[in-house]
Structure 1
């Protein structure tokens, strides 16, 4: 039988499953639009003449051309399921793929009597190129109907049914990873040279209900489906390139699907959650502005938001859709607050959104595990295994990084705030006189100013070197933000438990660590507490000879504390 004659009509009952084992037969591109297959035409895709998309594969998308569609348009009445089908058909036309041997088909849920069924028969589908293998697998799929009632969990014998019921994606790099009982079409798919698999739930954004499943199969044993997931997610947004009658209805109905590394669920975040994230953003912005930092962002453990078949086991995994994350507890920054003060680091931020970090290996995870703080002098010196963003950080000129644990008391959420030092800094002490204690103190103050949050333990900081396993723990109070490893030993011997009583005319304040750790932090806190912004401050203390000594630097302050644990200083202003 010649499946691909110029205008040959092919009935599904005539399918020859053994054809998949033969070499691929491709329909003439000049005649494909005229080919009628199960009363469905395949429309020729529009290929962009410029841009990256012209190097990708667009789909030949099915379209019903029966008399019913003409009647619907004539009477201005379009059934609900036809609206969804038209929307999905538009989505398929917008998709682009990295290979030609690809099949995308839509499974629609509909009610039949007392039951809810999931079927792809008469639903939109698309192929990258019309081969015998893809057409044969498509016909095989059309014969299948899944019962997806809530009380029939035992019917979840295939990915589309499981995805619809769970509302979570399912994927695998190779269909051989499935057990036959978990993928009934496995033999057919492999005979048809299909290996990479992705199944995504489609939600009605107005009701948050799952209405169907988009299924994608390709020949490549793909290890990362991030590109494909992003393509589907973007294409599901409302578009205006549809017939006018359907346009009016579709404007009120938007479809959505899970997104790559999406921290949130398909449902919209609740009001309290939005308030919480807004507060975190305010903390990041305030600290970056106060200390002239180029970038700050938030990390959290990525929830298990998809299922993956790997080594004949179907297990939960995070939403990165990458085999690198299988079996790991991952941290993600996508959909979480961030603040970019220097636009030169924007490419780095974009890279972070799509990259997950292993909680057990990354220095970001160290802060989470310790519920404290960690510091890395040069992230570009770390291995790619410990920090996958090494090359991105290097290209953006980022090196030193400080992380701190933040706990939401209200929702019991756990975050890690990550702050990068300014670009092109070789020695933070000489560039900006920025000390770690200043940063910690600013964080404490900002967190105290808002309610519902608690900062992690800041009394000790874990210092991460080129080997993330070999780190040093020391006091944050006495540590310069940019410090050499040789400085750490000397700083460990300094005791920063000193008390200071500062007097201004008839007013006085008491200060304790970390404000008393160095001259800069002491000065800033005195100015803040006495409300002396914009004024010139001088601080003096009496020595053993009863003379007033002016404090102008860290060395003066160190000498003042040599023989005492507490210090009284007199403040003067111009």
Structure 2
């Protein structure tokens, strides 16, 4: 989190203020949605980040401290919900303000949101172990790319409720669907031209049975495919990206770590073109 704040400060080219807002119970009264006003209150209720390039675009109801902000030349503001694990309910709001006006804060928002996805110590150890292994394998065998997929649960809200994806933490809900999501911190890119493919994977999850990662999850056995470009998009939703980056053969393995017990990690390793040709010849 400190690194994320440092990056935000650097991008703002000036001073920043970070403050955390938490709900308070007063007597026996329980606050309702209408009781939360202003930017932090809206984010707390909606559980969705909100930012503005300049707080002057809000009226005094939309930003309760508008007069103070104007006096201190506050411009940009980002408010991000903080979730309490494992319930995944919003417990606080982190607000960052700066005196610099940006056209957008998309990059800064992504950095802060990623930093708030705090992982337990044992999971951090497991991911560190995985990235060390993938790095060694990629260098030893000249693999261009190795990905790590983790099991998440997907809940599609009804009506106006938001769709939420959360990391699996042992407790399941009958309304939740198991999917695979990329764990960016445990992916290794040996060929920098493949970074765009990782970004594409970050934007799209896989269901059980989709792609070789989904098939490894489904079968609980290593799965090899000689050319992922031959998949139909219904079988592998990322196939058009695989074709764009010229990916070929790949193998996927379902693994567990001694650090995290029964948590599953799907490792997907892409083979270089020359290895594929050797396989086909022999």
User: Of the candidates 188, 205, 218, which is equivalent to residue 369 of structure 1?
Assistant: 218
Distance 1:375 1:385 in 2: 18
Q: Is the 8 A contact 1:363 1:374 kept in 2?
A: yes
User: Of the candidates 73, 92, 105, which is equivalent to residue 211 of structure 1?
Assistant: 92
Q: Is the 8 A contact 1:202 1:256 kept in 2?
A: no
Give the Å deviation of 1:339.
0.5
Deviation string for 1:455-505 (max 9, x for gaps)?
Answer: xxxxxxxxxxxxxxxxxxxxxxxxxxx338xx7xxxxxxxxxxxxxxxxxx
Distance 1:345 1:405 in 2: 23
Q: How many residues align?
A: 214
Residue pairs, 1:417-432, within 5 angstroms: 417-422=267-272, 424-425=273-274, 427-429=276-278
User: Which runs of no fewer than 5 residues in structure 1 stay unpaired?
Assistant: 1-82, 86-107, 126-141, 143-159, 170-199, 213-235, 243-254, 321-325, 430-481, 488-574
Q: Is the 8 A contact 1:295 1:420 kept in 2?
A: yes
Match of 1:404? 253
- Higher Rg: 1
SS in 2 for 1:409: coil
Give the Å deviation of 1:293.
0.4
Q: Does 1:238 align with 2:85?
A: no
Distance 2:200 2:95 in 1: 23
Distance 1:303 1:384 in 2: 22
Q: Is the 8 A contact 1:110 1:116 kept in 2?
A: no
Give the Å deviation of 1:425.
4.0
User: Of the candidates 138, 142, 151, which is equivalent to residue 301 of structure 1?
Assistant: 151
Match of 2:38? 124
Give the Å deviation of 1:204.
8.4
Give the Å deviation of 1:360.
3.0
Q: Which has the higher helix share?
A: 2
Give the Å deviation of 1:211.
3.0
Give the Å deviation of 1:355.
1.0
Q: Is the 8 A contact 1:367 1:404 kept in 2?
A: yes
Distance 1:334 1:307 in 2: 21
Q: Does 1:112 align with 2:8?
A: no
- Closer/same/farther in 2, CA of residues 387 and 256 from structure 1, 3 Å limit: closer
- Closer/same/farther in 2, CA of residues 256 and 363 from structure 1, 3 Å limit: closer
Give the Å deviation of 1:408.
1.8
User: Which runs of no fewer than 5 residues in structure 2 stay unpaired?
Assistant: 1-18, 49-78, 101-108, 168-174
Q: Is the 8 A contact 1:377 1:401 kept in 2?
A: yes
Q: Is the 8 A contact 1:400 1:421 kept in 2?
A: yes
User: Of the candidates 273, 283, 288, which is equivalent to residue 133 of structure 2?
Assistant: 283
Match of 1:483? 280
- Closer/same/farther in 2, CA of residues 114 and 256 from structure 1, 3 Å limit: farther
TM-score normalised according to structure 2 size: 0.61
Q: Is the 8 A contact 1:373 1:402 kept in 2?
A: yes
Q: Is the 8 A contact 2:208 2:214 kept in 1?
A: yes
Distance 1:84 1:427 in 2: 53
Deviation string for 1:503-543 (max 9, x for gaps)?
Answer: xxxxxxxxxxxxxxxxxxxxxxxxxxxxxxxxxxxxxxxxx
The structure, 1 or 2, with the larger RCO (C-alpha pairs under 8 Å, 6+ apart) is 2
SS in 1 for 2:214: helix
Distance 2:265 2:128 in 1: 14
Q: Is the 8 A contact 1:203 1:210 kept in 2?
A: yes
Give the Å deviation of 1:417.
0.7
- Closer/same/farther in 2, CA of residues 116 and 257 from structure 1, 3 Å limit: farther
Residue pairs, 1:162-181, within 5 angstroms: none
- Closer/same/farther in 2, CA of residues 419 and 370 from structure 1, 3 Å limit: same
Deviation string for 1:549-573 (max 9, x for gaps)?
Answer: xxxxxxxxxxxxxxxxxxxxxxxxx
Match of 1:272? 122
Give the Å deviation of 1:428.
3.1
Residue pairs, 1:16-35, within 5 angstroms: none
Distance 2:147 2:223 in 1: 15
Distance 2:179 2:83 in 1: 29
CA RMSD of aligned residues (A): 4.2
Distance 2:145 2:110 in 1: 31
Give the Å deviation of 1:371.
1.8
Q: Is the 8 A contact 1:201 1:257 kept in 2?
A: no
Residue pairs, 1:411-560, within 5 angstroms: 411-412=260-261, 413-422=263-272, 424-425=273-274, 427-429=276-278, 482-483=279-280
Match of 1:351? 200
Match of 1:392? 241
SS in 2 for 1:281: helix
Deviation string for 1:4-28 (max 9, x for gaps)?
Answer: xxxxxxxxxxxxxxxxxxxxxxxxx
